[in-house]
Amino acid sequence: MGLPLAITATGLVTGVGMSAPATCAAIRCAIDNFQETGFRDRGGEWILGCEVPMEKPWRGKTKLLKMAVSAIREVMQAKPEVNPAETPLLLCLAEHTRPGRIINDDAQFFLDLQQELGVEFSDQSLVIAAGHVSAAVAFKHAREMIQQQGVKHVLLASSDTLLVSPTLDHYEAQERLLTSENSNGFIPGEAGAALLVESGEQQNQAALNCEGLGFAVETAHVDSEEPLRAEGLTAAIKASLSDAGCEMGDLDFRITDLSGEQYYFKEASLALSRTLRQRKEEFDIWHPADCVGEVGSSQGLIMMAVLKAACEKEYTKGYRMFAHMGNDDGKRSSVVLAWRNGGGS
């Protein structure tokens, strides 16, 4: 088993809330903010989207910066004892291969982010351009930094948008966007998110702990012609269960990055059938994208913030759960989590 990571603070900026409490309350109540965007589909109808209503009509890279800054500030205000100079920032961004990706220079975006915040983070900071699986990859790096390098806190942050014309054109051409002519698709959105993690071993307060991580690659990914057997996701889930030292039957429910496409729902169902070996009356599945839309690299961090809020307010279906995320290119990740009372219990 690896070192448990405690998620001790969250910050969110989404289409349904300009803070973590507001966003999580909206998601709990199944409130969405899906509205007509300024983009039309091929049938001439307005495309639905979930836009973040910022104070000014920022667009492009500027808006991505503002969303990330807002989420990070929310975390830093909640944890004023955190020293940025000693804290690595793991910045989660869209995959470089995603059509319409706004950021063309990751390093410059990182520098601009620090300038906008007025702080400098540890030189151990990283940019993780891995889309949906960025959150799990960031957990892996954070665990290594805390366990092997003695880092006290690690800040995970993300900012992403799919409300960009080339991105929407690509997904519509692939018949993956929800439009007037296609019901099997996702609603595009945008969001900024941030989490603070630290060692879960010396926690004196109740916290949501990341206890297991697993990664794999699915050869029958959404763009392939191969029959889907969910072998990649199954392998990732099994690896995370092994890392956490538990079995699927020990867990109570799951949270996922599913955003409306039948392929990913089928994959999740197949993976569960191949990993859950005992009968359970129910094994709930949460998918916050129902409210915030498809938000790319921010999806995983939003999922963690939703779990933390749900455990704190005691409306979960139990206190052990797992999250899984997947990219279009086949990368899969799974995270086993548990709500732990203080004192390491």
Judgement on whether residues 159 and 44 belong to the same structural domain of the protein: yes
Note whether 147 and 186 are same-domain residues.
yes
- Whether residue 35 is found in the same domain as residue 79: yes
Q: 245 and 188 in one domain?
A: no
Query: In the listed set 180, 199, 218, which residue is the last one of a domain according to the structure?
Result: 199
Is the pTM for the entire model greater than 0.95? yes
Within-domain flag for 75: yes
The three-point CA angle 176-179-182 to 5° equals: 60
Specify whether the CB–CB gap between 192 and 116 falls below 8 A. no
In a shared domain, residues 184 and 222? no
SS3 76: helix
d(C-alpha 268, C-alpha 230), whole Å? 8
324 in a domain, yes or no?
yes
Query: Using CA atoms, how far apart are residues 34 and 163, in angstroms rounded to an integer?
Result: 12
Same domain, 229 and 138: no
Domain count, the chain: 2
Cα angle value 74/12/26 (rounded, 5°):
125
Distance, in Å, from the CA atom of 154 to the CA atom of 145, rounded to the nearest integer, reads 8
Choose among 140, 141, 138: nearest CA to 156: 138
Residue 42 covered by a domain: yes
Report the alpha-carbon distance of residue 203 to residue 272 in Å, rounded. Answer: 32
Domain end call among 146, 165, 199? 199
Retrieve residue 230's tokens: 């969910």
Q: In what order do the strands lie in the sheet with 284-286?
A: 126-129, 89-93, 153-161, 190-199, 5-13, 207-217, 331-340, 320-326, 253-256, 284-286
Give the per-residue SS3 of 145-213.
HHHHHCCCEEEEEEEEECCCHHHHHHHHHCCCECECCECCCECEEEEEEEEEEEECCCCCCCEEEEEEE
d(CA 93, CA 100): 13
Residues 184 and 309 in one domain: no
User: Are 233 and 303 contained in the same domain?
Assistant: yes
How high is the pLDDT of residue 343? 52
Q: Is residue 253 part of a domain?
A: yes
Q: What is the DSSP string of 119-139?
A: ----TT-EEEE-GGGHHHHHH
C-alpha R_g of the chain? 19
pLDDT in tens, the chain (345 residues): 679 999 999 999 999 999 999 999 999 999 999 999 999 999 999 999 999 999 999 999 999 999 999 999 999 999 999 999 999 999 999 999 999 999 999 999 999 999 999 999 999 999 999 999 999 999 999 999 999 999 999 999 999 999 999 999 999 999 999 999 999 999 999 999 999 999 998 778 899 999 999 999 999 999 888 999 999 999 999 999 999 999 999 999 999 999 999 999 999 999 999 999 888 888 999 999 999 999 999 999 999 999 999 999 999 989 999 999 999 999 999 999 999 986 544
User: Are 229 and 309 part of one and the same domain?
Assistant: yes
Integer Cα distance of 19 and 78 in angstroms: 12
Three-state SS string over 36-54 comes to EEEEECCCCCEEEEECCCC
If asked whether residues 95 and 170 sit together in one domain, one would say yes
Give the CA angle between residues 66, 69, 72 to the nearest 5°: 150
Q: Is residue 149 included in any domain, yes or no?
A: yes
Answer yes or no: do 183 and 223 share one domain: no
Range of the domain at 139: 5-199
**Phi and psi (nearest 5°) for 197?**
-125, 150
Q: Is there a single domain that holds both residue 161 and residue 33?
A: yes
| Plot region of 260 (φ>0 → left; ψ -120 to 50 → alpha; else → beta) | left
From 153, 178, 199, give the residue that closes a domain: 199
CB 133 within 8 A of CB 300: yes
13 in any annotated domain: yes
Looking up residue 336, the CATH number of its domain turns out to be 3.40.47.10
The 3-state DSSP class for residue 288 equals coil
> 56-79 burial, b if ≥16 CB within 10 A, otherwise e?
eeeeebebbbbbbbbbbbbbbeee
Determine, yes or no, domain membership for 246.
yes
Query: Could you tell me the end-to-end alpha-carbon distance of the chain, in angstroms, rounded to an integer?
Result: 15
Domain contains 345: no
The CA distances from residue 138 to 115, 204, 302, 312, in Å, are 22, 24, 14, 23
